[in-house]
Amino acid sequence: MADGAAYKTERDRVGPLLAAYGIREYRIREVNDKEKKVVWELTTDRGPRVLKGHRWTLGQVRFIAGAIEHCAARGVGVTGLERTLEDEPFVWDGEFGYLLFHAVSGPSPRYEEPAELRLIMETLADFHLRSRGYEPPPGAEARSLLGTWPETYRLHLGRMRAYLVEASGGSDPFRRLAAEHLPRFIGRAEEALEALERSAYRDWVDQATTERGLCHQDFSAGNLRRQPDGTLAILDLDGLTHELPARDVRKILNKVMKKNRWEADLALAMLGWYRQAHPLAPEQWEVILVDVAFPHLVDGVVDKYFRNRDPEWSDAKYLERLKWMIDVEDSKAEAVAALRRALVEAGPAGGAPGR
């Protein structure tokens, strides 16, 4: 069995895995051990390493390992994989796929520092460009989100409607607040779906299918490390998938803006830095702005509450988070309008280049 509970000690589990790499001398520190993911930091006779295991099929681990090695070969700042004695980039035990990385140190960049935020956006743009052309190895299981946005929007709309019914008539503060505000955000989600269907989304998906670029899915400061040469090392590559770069762009915008509500000038600067390295057509920026307009943040916290996805959160924390996400979402309209004027209506050459 691959389940950690079947092993008497950590060394019983880790030892055979490291033996596949020819590593015999090591010390272990467990960082994370969940049902579907386990992470260990290792001190070995070859230096510091990180061993990650995921409950993946053989085809899934082949896709991820191949994507990481593709990015490394293309000059993307990802942590390289160690290969086994049999020259494989992973170990699979029938239930978990294990990847061994060289450990990376360094502080995470800070969103509050303009120079570091600029570096994040430039690194993201570089990642999107350099990751193009990924052909998964034989036996890999295709991993792609291309073309799924309309279905995902409808799924999220359906659950927001269901949560509105569940919240209506509720006596606790979270349900009362959700019942008051969800109709407005459901309306915005419906508008976003209609705008997506009118947009160039399908054309961009066709282009991206040919380019075969990768999306990180969690390109956040916590998954980046500043290096002595001034670059950023990119960590947490478990979510790599074929997808529009728009998904990463929308997510980093939301991560930054939810700290202090939406600021048009800051958003323009971020996208200006990104497009200096990775220019996009006006119709592609429109697709990004449609996704920005969708109320992902409110949808996320409401779903987390009703599905109890964070059982350690108190009712007070859930309520405070919902209040804040409502404020953030409501602060977005003016910024999105400014972005549309600069990036869509002004054409390819228009807009602020970044501050």
Per-residue pLDDT tens over the stretch 135-173: 999 999 999 999 999 999 999 999 999 999 999 988 899
| Model pLDDT, residue 229 | 95
Side chain identity at residue 173, one-letter code: P
What's residue 35's pLDDT? 81
Q: Which pLDDT score, from 0 to 100, does residue 171 have? A: 87
Rounded to two decimals, what is the model's pTM? 0.92
Query: Residue 48 pairs with which residues in a beta bridge?
Result: 43
Checking phi first, is residue 42 left (phi over 0); if not, alpha (psi -120 to 50) or beta?
Answer: beta
Tracing tokens 């790599």 back to the chain, one arrives at: 240
Tell me: pLDDT of 193 over 60.
Answer: yes
What are the tens digits of pLDDT across the range 222-243?
999 999 999 999 999 999 999 9
Q: How far apart are CA 199 and CA 286, in angstroms?
A: 7
Cβ neighbourhood burial of 45 (10 Å; 0-12, 13-18, 19+): exposed
Instruction: Tell me what pLDDT residue 339 has.
Output: 95
User: In the prediction, which pLDDT does 7 show?
Assistant: 58
- What CA–CA distance (Å, rounded) separates 245 from 151? 18
CA 161 remoteness from chain centre: 26
Q: Give me the pLDDT at residue 353, please.
A: 44
Sorted by where each starts, the structural domains of the chain and their CATH numbers stand as 4-102 (3.30.200.20), 114-345 (3.90.1200.10)
pLDDT confidence band for 126 (50 / 70 / 90):
very high
d(CA 151, CA 159) in angstroms, rounded, equals 13
Residue 350 has pLDDT above 90, yes or no: no
Residue found under tokens 């260990």: 40
**Span 306-339, pLDDT tens digits:** 999 888 999 999 999 999 999 999 999 999 999 9
- Confidence (pLDDT) at 30: 85
Q: Please report the pLDDT score of residue 6 as a whole number.
A: 56
pLDDT-above-70 percentage for the chain: 95
Query: How confident is residue 114, by pLDDT bands cut at 50, 70 and 90?
Result: very high
Three-class SS state of 217: coil
| Confidence tier at 351 by pLDDT (50, 70, 90) | very low
pLDDT range class, residue 352, cuts 50, 70, 90? very low
Q: What is the pLDDT of residues 11-52, one digit of tens each?
A: 788 999 999 999 999 998 888 778 889 999 999 999 999 999
